[in-house]
Structure 1
Amino acid sequence: MFDQVNGLPVHILVLHAAVIFVPLLALGAVVYALAPAWRPKLAWAVALLGLVAPVATFVAKESGEELYDSKISTFSPKGKEILAQHMDYGSMTFWFSLALGLLALAMVAATFRPERRPPLVLNLAFIVLSVVLAAGSGYYIYRTGDSGATAVWGTY
């Protein structure tokens, strides 16, 4: 299922979705948490990104594992080491984006009606969690991409 589309590896096609949607989710979630005045305008985008970004990272992760399994015999030991690290970073990217996506959906659900304001403690929790999860997502999407690029464009 996650192997090929028209002869091209699915991983190469979908990884760019994760590279775009995860940082957008991180930015959207932090702005949504910090700027209550913007929430009505951002709610639909944050909720949509909260669904799409984790799905994109999951498909990228699964398709990457399929690609690795099909090409494992062509890699040097150093290449295998870099790709193992790349896959670890990809797994962490998925978990951070999933947690951030669930938080984004929870924030939108809790603040959807402007007349029902969540308690201050909940707003502070949204701010802290969104910043922490956004930073983790950003870090791991960068590390995943960097290690993947090293594996592809390096001389391993």
Structure 2
Amino acid sequence: MTTLNGLPAHVLLVHAIVVLLPLAALLLVLCALWPAARRKLAGPNAALAVLVLILVPITTDAGEWLERRVPTTPLVRAHTELGDTAVYAAIAVAALALVIWWRHRESTYPEDNGPKRVLRLPVPRRTFLAPRSTPVTAVIAVAAILIGGAAAYDIYRIGDSGAQASWQGQFSAAPAPRSGHR
């Protein structure tokens, strides 16, 4: 994808990443630490994190297309190099969001909708991610805080370097004269 509505696609797609990846990271931490949030948001956050993981390479490719069409400067190079790290942040957030969702899924049993006169005992399902283990939950919570914080910081650094590359030296501290205004 190179352009959208006549504009470089990167300058539009990047806004989705700047908003959605930190949002997925925040929800990751909430789901890891707060069981009520986990019950309601683990599934939607896993879907959001996977969507972001799909959008990051599309945005990066659009950025590489744009990079070949602007003057090469140290700021553009720095932004490009930092931008390549976003996929790692997105992978980590998506992987842990999926783990949290799967563990939550493993911790719940489906309701028995069979006849009421037949006594049915719940049949334990095989679990893979120790959904009832407090130590595993604690490790996942710490990992969520570290991964979520690192992802938010990475996106901040990438965004700041992009803003520096785009705007440094491109505006005046004094207002520009307006034609037709008094």
TM-score, scaled relative to structure 2: 0.75
Spell out the pairing of 1:1-156 with structure 2 (5 A cutoff): 2-71=1-70, 74-75=71-72, 80-115=73-108, 117-155=131-169
Higher gyration radius (CA): 2
Q: Secondary structure at the match of 1:70?
A: coil
Separation in 1 of the partners of 2:80 and 2:142? Answer: 28
Asked if the contact 1:82–1:151 (Cα under 8 Å) also holds between the matched residues in 2, the reply is yes
Q: What code does the residue aligned with 2:83 have?
A: G
Superposed displacement of residue 113, structure 1 = 4.0
Superposed displacement of residue 138, structure 1 = 0.7
Q: What code does the residue aligned with 1:97 have?
A: A
Higher helix share: 1
Superposed displacement of residue 107, structure 1 = 1.1
Superposed displacement of residue 14, structure 1 = 0.4
Separation in 1 of the partners of 2:138 and 2:81? Answer: 31
Separation in 2 of the partners of 1:128 and 1:33? Answer: 8
Separation in 2 of the partners of 1:88 and 1:118? Answer: 41
Aligned length: 149
Asked if the contact 1:3–1:63 (Cα under 8 Å) also holds between the matched residues in 2, the reply is yes
Residue of structure 1 in register with 2:173 after alignment: none
Asked if the contact 1:25–1:50 (Cα under 8 Å) also holds between the matched residues in 2, the reply is yes
Asked if the contact 2:42–2:97 (Cα under 8 Å) also holds between the matched residues in 1, the reply is no
What RMSD in Å do the two structures reach over aligned CA positions? Answer: 1.7
Q: What code does the residue aligned with 2:104 have?
A: T
Unaligned runs of 5+ in 1: none
Asked if the contact 2:31–2:38 (Cα under 8 Å) also holds between the matched residues in 1, the reply is yes
Q: 1:153 to 1:127 in 2, by over 3 A?
A: same
Unaligned runs of 5+ in 2: 110-130, 171-182
Q: What code does the residue aligned with 1:32 have?
A: C
Q: Secondary structure at the match of 1:118?
A: coil
Q: What code does the residue aligned with 1:24 have?
A: L
Separation in 2 of the partners of 1:145 and 1:6? Answer: 22
Asked if the contact 1:40–1:112 (Cα under 8 Å) also holds between the matched residues in 2, the reply is no
Separation in 1 of the partners of 2:79 and 2:51? Answer: 22
Separation in 2 of the partners of 1:66 and 1:108? Answer: 36
Residue-by-residue CA offset, 1:22-75 (whole Å, 9 max, x unaligned): 11111100000001132111123211222112222222211101110122xx34
TM-score, scaled relative to structure 1: 0.87
Separation in 1 of the partners of 2:57 and 2:105? Answer: 27
